[in-house]
Structure 1
């Protein structure tokens, strides 16, 4: 996927990512829901029962083109590495700095980004307890459904169906969002920055205690992913961080000079 859309190219459609799905039947029903509304890119992160799965094919109700094209990943970062914008679905209130969208607004955002050539993805969690905070931290925003708080549980296929339906409505309607001038960076570019930044901060005592490190890193990731930086902007940030890393006060002697 290139940073800019080709002239006249069809808007890119979002990919659906299931994180550690447990039942082949649910994967098949997700594939069926996707096919109902013209989606075909389904990615699985460490499915419990492995892949391929005959139960998934049986319940897909002839959505074989989706099942046949499934790709399996051993980690969430690998599954979203080529994406520019990622939404995480959740029915629970979460701590952090993530923007929270309803399904209509979320699908309008995805549609506008697709018009601009960006590739988006939607994360769905495990059947029993959804996504954890670390996984949500790798997304750009949260999408939640306006269900009754007293009974907020949806199965995966229902949640995918709702999002796919809203996406299909948006394809034939104008939105209040325009395509961004600059596409957000792919997740692999952003993750590379965090892979460099975390040990650099750790060596300089930023995390204070080992117990606080996961939460502090989660907050830092949330803050730095929220704006949707482009690849060029991330390069600027890395340049700033590198300059600070090498900084020493004017007139200060290096270790070799002081010996």
Structure 2
């Protein structure tokens, strides 16, 4: 993997920790589990222009699990869509970075999301429009494993599969946890890969912390011409920071204890050192 993509992942992980610690709370676990995916998308796979966010030739991202907005905001900032100082305005009154993505507020955000499940339908609609325009651009639809409790997801998946919408790459963040606990305890998802295959998707499962595996899976998905496509990311909620991986209540974290803040400070210091060392060799 290109060293710049590896550095981008570390910068995005640092930014998530920094902005949420500054805010004092936020959806940490499900943002950290998507860091490597966003680094690969914006560092290698996607077509976009930060100076012209509405460029017609761009690929689109629909973050259906909208509570993971911090990973998207951090990535957009690192890729030049807006200044990094804006990250510290997360959730402020009048901010361009609300709790959940809003296409009317944030450069680089093409679809407002937050009510779980609805992003699947809007992504299907965007993909249909691109097909009708004979566009070769992709829609990256990112869905949470807990979000799959919503029936709307499966309605949208049926549509995508029926019409063989291979330009909408469905990516499921299987981090095994949701707001109220482990997914297997809330509503057992059984095998997500098997279900997506049964729905008619060409489906792959890859480690969600492996940049090369994610990159290869996306490239393979783009080669599929006769069916809808899905990538299941086998991730860990709080991925990349051991303290938060092991924190049971890591869906939405409050930075109100010495232990949480010390762990955050230590992780940030380690990431900052790694970033500085690696940038010297790029």
Q: State the TM-score bracket (shorter-chain normalisation).
A: under 0.3
Pick the structure with greater CA Rg.
1
TM-score if structure 1 supplies the norm length? 0.27
